[in-house]
Structure 1
Amino acid sequence: MKTVTVLRHAKSDWSDAALRDFDRGLNDRGYRAAAVMGRWAAQQGLSFDAIIASPAVRVVETLKRFREAHGDCPEPVFDMRIYLAGGATIAEVLSETSDSVSQILLAGHSPGLEELILTAVADNGRSALRGAVEVKFPTAALAVLDFDIADWASLATDMSHRARLRAFVRPRDLDPSLGPDSV
């Protein structure tokens, strides 16, 4: 079994319209949400052998806050292929992981992360968690996927319906002030 914890970057700062998309950092709500999610992950006992992430500034800043709040986390490996990638590209990146790694924290962007989750988890009509991801995978949301595989390489050929969605948590689930109607 291999586990991928999927983390979308937290809320980005749009105050400087001159910044490229890649260079946008987090706003105050984003910093708070990243820390809330890191604390939750630690409280749930989630651990990571590796972190693979987009090098976009908002992902780097999300991971910094998440890791500070979580505690014991490895250094991230930043891979440009994750930036704005689709689910198939993300699966390809995951497939290159050493089989000595069992648990990965994957940090990136929408819509590729949702695509990965929705392809990996079967739509049997009975999963409320999958249905919630299908509706929206908001900023700083976290999902835990358990893949019934022995090696990461198998994801390169087919990731369809190979995972169970163990958890899906949004910042607003943990702190209502981080909801969409909050400032």
Structure 2
Amino acid sequence: MKTLTLLRHAKSGWDDPVARDFDRPLNTRGRRAAATMGRHVRELGLAFDAVVASPAIRVDETVVEFERGLGRALTPVWDRRLYLAAPTTLLDVVHECDAASDALLLIGHNPGLEELTLLLVPGGDGVLRAAAEEKYPTATLAEMTFDTDDWAAVTAGSGRLTRFIRPRDVDPSLGPDGD
């Protein structure tokens, strides 16, 4: 059994005058949401034995705040391919994960994370999939399980969405975010 968790970066600051989208930092609300989600993951007792993240500034800052809430380091592998990646590229990254790892966390961007979730989880898979299809807000976490021992065997429609947690589900003051 493999567990894939996708975490979208927290809310970034569009008002910050940066030259490149890659360099856009989190805003105050985003920092708070990332730390809140980290605390919630700690309370749920979730753990990851492999973490791959986009090197964009807003993802790096999401990791820092998430770790603060989680109370431990994630030590991600920074992979440029995750920056604004298409779902097929994200799936390539999943397929490359060491089969010895059972719990993989990808931290990145939309629309790729949402599209990957919808690709991997069959239509009609219930309330959680419907929520993911409606909107995948910033700092949202989606967890899927796969009945396989090899990441290379993860294919379209082979997953089961077991969690879809938005920041507002944990702290109502963090939603709706309007992004």
Alpha carbons 2:137, 2:177 under 8 Å: kept: no
| 8 Å CA contact retained: 1:39, 1:69 | yes
1:77 corresponds to 2:73: no
Equivalent in the alignment of 1:170: 166
CA contact (8 A) 1:48 1:73 kept: no
Aligned partner of 1:115 in structure 2 is 115
Task: Please give the alpha-carbon distance, in whole angstroms, between the structure 2 residues aligned to 1:63 and 1:149.
Answer: 28
Structure 2: any 5+ residue segments left out of the alignment? none
Give 1:152's aligned residue: 151
Q: What does 1:125-164 align with in structure 2 at a 5 Å threshold?
A: 126-155=125-154, 159-164=155-160
User: Whole-Å Cα distance in 2 between the matches of residues 143 and 86 of structure 1?
Assistant: 17
TM-score norm. by structure 1 comes to 0.93
Q: Could you give the per-residue CA deviations for residues 138-180 of structure 1, whole angstroms, max 9, x where no partner exists?
A: 000011111112101223xxx2111110000111111111113
Aligned partner of residue 58 in structure 2, secondary structure:
helix
TM-score, with length taken from structure 2: 0.95
The number of residue pairs the alignment matches comes to: 178
| Runs of 4+ residues over 3 Å off in structure 1 | none
Q: Which residue of 2 aligns with 1:3?
A: 3
Shift of 1:16: 2.3
CA distance in 2, matches of 1:99, 1:85: 22
- Matched residues, percent identical? 53
Q: Letter of the aligned partner of 1:151 in structure 2?
A: D
Distance in 2 of aligned mates of 1:18 and 1:181: 22
Residue deviations 1:30-69 (CA, integer Å, cap 9, x gap): 0000001001111111101011010000001001110121
Structure 1 residues 29-108: aligned runs within 5 Å: 29-108=29-108
Alpha-carbon RMSD across the aligned residues, in angstroms, is 1.4
TM-superposed CA distance for 1:181, in Å, is 5.8
1:47 and 1:73 in contact (8 A); partners too: no
CA distance in 2, matches of 1:2, 1:19: 39
Sort the Cα spacing of 1:17 and 1:38 in 2 relative to 1 into closer, same or farther, 3 A.
same
Q: 1:171 to 1:52 in 2, by over 3 A?
A: same
